[in-house]
């Protein structure tokens, strides 16, 4: 199957692309800025530059294509987004008819089309209608909130819960919705590749739970062990809600206003029959949130945190980088020693060797941890030279080790959240490079206050540790040459 993917730089499209590759389909991505997208995908992905608002650019993008995924929207573009979405849909439909596509697959939004809808939801449904009324068979999926690490709606909810010990609940918090896990959305989208009929269809998809937005917030708080006080308010306008969201969440106020306008209307599946033919068994809301948090941990573990940051030098602003609810602080240093020699020094950290800088500060931290019922630093380490996954290391635990490249430690001291310390060793001109990354997943307001309060100390301790490791590696290398 020759597949065109629009919206590959977005959330759903970005998740769909690797699954299309895994299914061994020939994938082409349409983007307005191919030169910026090239470095983010494997070399075997075909990338074509085109603009959905310029129909004359779409012909080459659709040439030879069997199926096109339409996963774009313009809500973040400011006023006039509805007109742009309608124009883009008409252009794609026209170009797809000319190119002779077999199918278009579109992901839109749930909402009672016979009732009042926000401009955002009305626009999404109008796009679906335009595509389904074209001469190219189109499947329009309609979904409510998509729950997954990094999705806009889920990140808005988690930011509210993480940042606000006391939450003001306007009426829209009680609106019924049917959230769906990102994995289930991808399953529905991929199953369209096996369709052989030539009919257009509308498919409403949702998770196993019909809940309110407040239920989602409380479930997220429960899974994060956060206690939240809820204060219902009778009336708050969408504009005030959007400004409030703009202050306390990463969502821009104008996007927040459209989201709030949308969540004021129920978004539940009214006709489950078409979706049942796909054989997908959607997860519950609680399972979807659990999966989002698990996947977030896995993605952070599998990704080099330093790749998304400026690894060389200090963080750009007070507090380090913020990624979701996590704070990331990364620095690196090159040293004229071998990778093996550098990693050997890293692997000896802690225990009797110490932490290569400010050991008295580490001892003080351990004493404070014991004082509040934690493990302290008395555990030491199993072996003075080598480490294994699962080893205790003072008040850390070895989560992963891959000599001579990677050591990741998970904190077991008492902290308002979760913390990791990672060391990566790479080859560098004339020697090796050590990248040190501290990551803290803050639990609520207390977690954020904890991180910011200790950030100046982190600057001192972690910078000194990085220098100390490199100096010890140079000393060991010099001693080895003398011997």
Q: Cβ contacts of residue 372 below 8 Å, gap of 6+?
A: 414
In the predicted model, is pLDDT for residue 313 greater than 70?
no
382: pLDDT strictly greater than 80: yes
Cα–Cα dist 441/439, whole Å:
7
Residue 472's pLDDT band (boundaries 50, 70, 90)?
very high
Longest dimension (CA), the chain: 84
463 HSE (CA, 13 A, CB side): 10
Is the pLDDT score of 344 beyond 90? Answer: yes
For residue 243, what pLDDT band results from cuts at 50, 70 and 90? Answer: low
Joined together, the tokens standing for residue 85 give 């979405």
- Average pLDDT, stretch 160-171? 80
Nearest to 230 by CA among 148, 155, 167: 167
Q: Peptide bond preceding 404: is omega within 30 degrees of 0, i.e. cis?
A: yes
pLDDT band at 318 (very low <50, low <70, confident <90, very high): very low
Nearest CA-CA partner of 161 in 238, 218, 233, 243: 218
Determine phi and psi for 72, rounding to 5 degrees: -115, 155
Contacts of 413 (CB under 8 A, 6+ apart): 365, 366, 369, 374, 375, 376, 395, 396, 419
Q: Where do we find the tokens 């000194």?
A: 464
Note the pLDDT of residue 198: 86
Q: What is the average pLDDT score of the chain?
A: 83
pLDDT over 80 at 235, yes or no: no
Q: What's the CA gap between 215 and 228, in Å, rounded?
A: 12
Answer whether 20's CB lies under 8 Å from 29's CB: no
Residues carrying CATH 3.30.530.20, the chain:
304-482
* Dihedral of the alpha carbons of 452, 456, 458, 464, in degrees to the nearest 10: 170
- What is the pLDDT confidence band of residue 252, given thresholds at 50, 70 and 90? very low
Mean of the pLDDT values across residues 327-353? 92
pLDDT for 323 equals 61
Q: Pinpoint the residues of the chain covered by CATH 3.40.50.720.
A: 2-298
pTM of the model: 0.69
Is CATH 3.30.530.20 the classification given to domain 304-482? Answer: yes
Mean pLDDT: which of 165-179, 291-305, 397-411 is highest? 397-411
CA distances from 249 to 206, 245, 289, 437 (A): 25, 5, 18, 25
For helices 253-263 and 238-248, the axis angle rounded to 10 degrees is 130
- Give the β-pairing of 417-428 and 406-411: antiparallel
Q: Which of 21, 19, 43, 17 minimizes the C-alpha distance to 30?
A: 17
The CATH H-level superfamily of 2-298 is NAD(P)-binding Rossmann-like Domain (3.40.50.720)
Residue 363: its pLDDT value, please? 85
Give me the sign of the Cα torsion angle 363, 369, 373, 377: negative
Contacts of 294 (CB under 8 A, 6+ apart): none
Place 74 in a pLDDT band, splitting at 50, 70 and 90.
Answer: low
* Residue whose entry in the numeric block shows the structure tokens 């997208």: 37
């Amino acid at each position: 199957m020759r597949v065109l993917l629009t919206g590959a730089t977005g959330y759903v499209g970005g998740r769909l692309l690797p699954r299309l590759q895994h299914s061994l389909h020939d994938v082409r991505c349409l983007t307005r800025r191919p030169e910026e997208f090239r470095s983010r995908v494997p070399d075997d992905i075909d990338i074509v530059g085109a603009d959905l608002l310029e129909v004359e650019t779409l012909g080459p993008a659709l040439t030879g294509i069997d199926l096109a995924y339409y996963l774009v929207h313009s809500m973040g573009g400011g006023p006039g987004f509805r007109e742009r979405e309608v124009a883009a849909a008409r252009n794609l439909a026209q170009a797809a008819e000319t190119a002779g596509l077999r199918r278009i697959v579109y992901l839109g939004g749930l909402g009672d089309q016979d009732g009042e809808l926000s401009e955002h939801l009305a626009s999404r449904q109008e796009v679906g209608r335009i595509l389904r009324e074209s001469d190219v068979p189109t499947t329009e999926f309609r979904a409510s909130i998509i729950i997954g690490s990094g999705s806009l709606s889920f990140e808005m909810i988690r930011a509210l819960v993480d940042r606000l010990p006391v939450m003001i609940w306007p009426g829209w918090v009680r609106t019924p919705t049917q959230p769906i896990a990102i994995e289930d959305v991808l399953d529905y989208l991929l199953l369209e590749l096996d369709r052989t009929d030539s009919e257009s269809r509308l498919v409403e998809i949702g998770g196993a739970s019909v809940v309110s937005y407040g239920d989602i917030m409380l479930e997220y708080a429960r899974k994060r062990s956060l206690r939240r006080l809820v204060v219902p308010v009778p009336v708050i306008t969408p504009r005030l809600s959007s400004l409030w969201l703009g202050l306390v969440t990463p969502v821009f106020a104008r996007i927040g206003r459209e989201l709030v306008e949308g969540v004021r209307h129920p978004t539940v599946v009214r006709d489950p029959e078409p979706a049942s033919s796909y054989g997908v068994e959607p997860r519950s809301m609680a399972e979807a949130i659990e999966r989002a948090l698990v996947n977030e941990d896995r993605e952070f573990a599998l990704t080099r945190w330093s790749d998304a940051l400026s690894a060389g030098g200090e963080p750009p602003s007070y507090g380090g980088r913020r990624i979701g609810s996590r704070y990331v602080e990364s620095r690196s240093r090159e040293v004229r020693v071998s990778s093996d020699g550098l990693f050997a020094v890293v692997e000896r950290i802690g225990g009797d060797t110490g932490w290569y800088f400010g050991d008295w500060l580490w001892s003080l931290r351990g004493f404070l941890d014991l004082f509040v019922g934690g493990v302290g630093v008395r555990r030491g380490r199993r072996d003075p030279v080598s480490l294994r996954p699962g080893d205790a290391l003072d008040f850390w635990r070895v989560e992963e080790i891959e000599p001579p490249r990677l050591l990741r430690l998970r904190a077991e001291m008492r902290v308002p959240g979760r913390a990791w310390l990672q060391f990566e060793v790479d080859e560098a001109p004339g020697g090796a490079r050590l990248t040190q990354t501290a990551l803290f997943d803050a639990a609520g307001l207390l977690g954020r206050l904890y991180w910011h309060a200790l950030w100046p100390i982190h600057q001192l301790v972690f910078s000194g540790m990085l220098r100390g490791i490199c100096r010890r590696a140079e000393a060991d290398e010099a001693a080895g040459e003398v011997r």
